[in-house]
């Protein structure tokens, strides 16, 4: 299974270093064979040798250039980073990234052979508008994306479940994952208020290949418990 931590705008580089080492020692001590990904804040990216795969939360589709505030491929190469998160709802909705921009980013990093965790998910009003509208909305987030890309991982994250403590029911998660698997055979993660107390039951669902965890992953101990659940399944 794939267990991913999105650290968002948290943990400095020093704190991230300690965090990743805590995961490494846990994984070594417990013979963990799961795929563990960590997405630190951009300025906390660093060279890392170990089992944990470090990925970027964002990067511009360029090697380098005049894109103030952004980083490019050269900056990721400096730390041998070959994994990137694209399409997270906070980038779509807070930072205003459009599907066209996301597709450019996707294609650029796909060309470079990156492992891409591509996020999709509906806001509350789309969920409340009924299944057809909701699936249409999510379907549009697949437009322009090579769903057969070999290094693709998809994360289904309902926007209204992110950071709110709300989650869809287990039946809903399983149903939507089953529908989304028809769009792409890529591993499909669930994200949105995954915590130690619900991670196990989510991981046990059919068509759930892992989890993408935000706030609860900030505690290495909690995140390690979730890694252990995946290992024990
Ligand atoms: P959350 O965030 O676990 O805090 O809901 C998940 C995410 O944004 O990836």
* pLDDT over 70 percentage in the chain: 100
Answer yes or no: 70 catalytic.
no
pTM: 0.97
> Ligand 1 centroid vs 65 CA: distance in angstroms?
31
Active-site residue, selected from the candidate residues 35, 90, 97, 157: 157
Average pLDDT over every residue of 189-203: 96
Chain centroid to CA 217: 12
- Pairing of the two strands 115-120 and 83-86: parallel
The pLDDT assigned to 165 comes to: 85
Answer yes or no: 157 catalytic.
yes
The pLDDT assigned to 172 comes to: 94
Write the residue with the smallest CA distance to atom 6 of ligand 1: 214
The pLDDT assigned to 138 comes to: 97
Active-site residue, selected from the candidate residues 88, 122, 177, 222: 88
For residue 4, give Cα distances in angstroms to 57, 62, 104, 150. Answer: 12, 25, 24, 18
> Ligand 1 centroid vs 206 CA: distance in angstroms?
21
The owner of tokens 């499909």 is 188
The pLDDT assigned to 166 comes to: 84
Phi/psi at 183 (5° precision): -85, -30
**Coil vs helix vs strand at 213:** strand
Phi/psi at 77 (5° precision): -60, -35
Q: Is pLDDT of 196 > 90?
A: yes
Pocket test for ligand 1, best of 6, 190, 216 (most atoms within 8 A of CB): 6
Q: DSSP letters of 120-170?
A: E---HHHHHT-HHHHHHHHHHTTTT--TT-TTEEEEE--GGGTTTS----H
The owner of tokens 């660093």 is 46
> Ligand 1 centroid vs 91 CA: distance in angstroms?
13
Q: Angle 75-55-13 (CA atoms, 0-180°, nearest 5)?
A: 70
Write the residue with the smallest CA distance to atom 2 of ligand 1: 214
Average pLDDT over every residue of 108-131: 96
Q: What is the mean pLDDT of the chain?
A: 97
Side-chain half-sphere CA neighbours of 75 within 13 A: 19
Domain ranges of the chain: 2-232
Q: Ligand 1: list residues with CB < 6 Å.
A: 6, 157, 162-163, 191-194, 212-216
Side-chain half-sphere CA neighbours of 219 within 13 A: 8
The pLDDT assigned to 163 comes to: 84
Q: Per residue in 81-114, pLDDT tens?
A: 999 999 999 999 999 999 999 999 999 999 999 9
The CATH code for residues 2-232 is 3.20.20.70
The pLDDT assigned to 101 comes to: 97
Residue 185 has a CB neighbour count (10 Å cut-off) of: 11
For residue 227, give Cα distances in angstroms to 68, 107, 109, 209. Answer: 37, 30, 27, 13
Q: Per residue in 17-62, pLDDT tens?
A: 999 999 999 999 999 999 999 999 999 999 999 999 999 999 999 9
Check residues 170 and 164 and name the one with the higher pLDDT.
Answer: 170
CB 170 within 8 A of CB 199: no
**Coil vs helix vs strand at 126:** helix
């Amino acid at each position: 299974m794939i267990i991913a931590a999105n650290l968002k705008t948290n943990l400095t580089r020093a704190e991230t270093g300690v965090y990743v080492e805590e995961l490494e020692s846990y994984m070594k001590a417990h013979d963990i064979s799961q795929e563990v990904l960590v997405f630190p804040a951009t300025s906390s990216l660093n060279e890392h040798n170990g089992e944990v795969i470090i990925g970027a939360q964002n990067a511009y589709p360029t090697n380098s250039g005049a894109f103030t505030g952004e980083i490019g491929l050269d900056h990721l190469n400096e730390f041998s980073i070959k994994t990137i998160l694209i399409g997270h709802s906070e980038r779509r909705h807070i930072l205003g990234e459009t599907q066209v921009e996301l597709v450019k980013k996707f294609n650029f990093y796909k060309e470079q052979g990156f492992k891409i965790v591509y996020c999709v998910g509906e806001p509350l009003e789309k969920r409340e508008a009924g299944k057809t509208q909701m699936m249409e909305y999510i379907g549009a987030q697949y437009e322009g994306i090579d769903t057969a890309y070999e290094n693709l991982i998809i994360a289904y994250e309902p926007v209204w479940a992110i950071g709110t403590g709300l989650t869809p029911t287990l039946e809903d998660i399983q149903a939507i994952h089953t529908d989304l698997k028809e769009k792409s055979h890529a591993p499909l993660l669930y994200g949105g208020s995954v915590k130690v107390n619900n991670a196990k039951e989510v991981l046990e669902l059919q068509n759930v290949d892992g989890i993408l965890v935000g706030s609860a992953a900030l505690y290495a101990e909690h995140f390690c418990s979730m890694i252990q659940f995946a290992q024990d399944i």
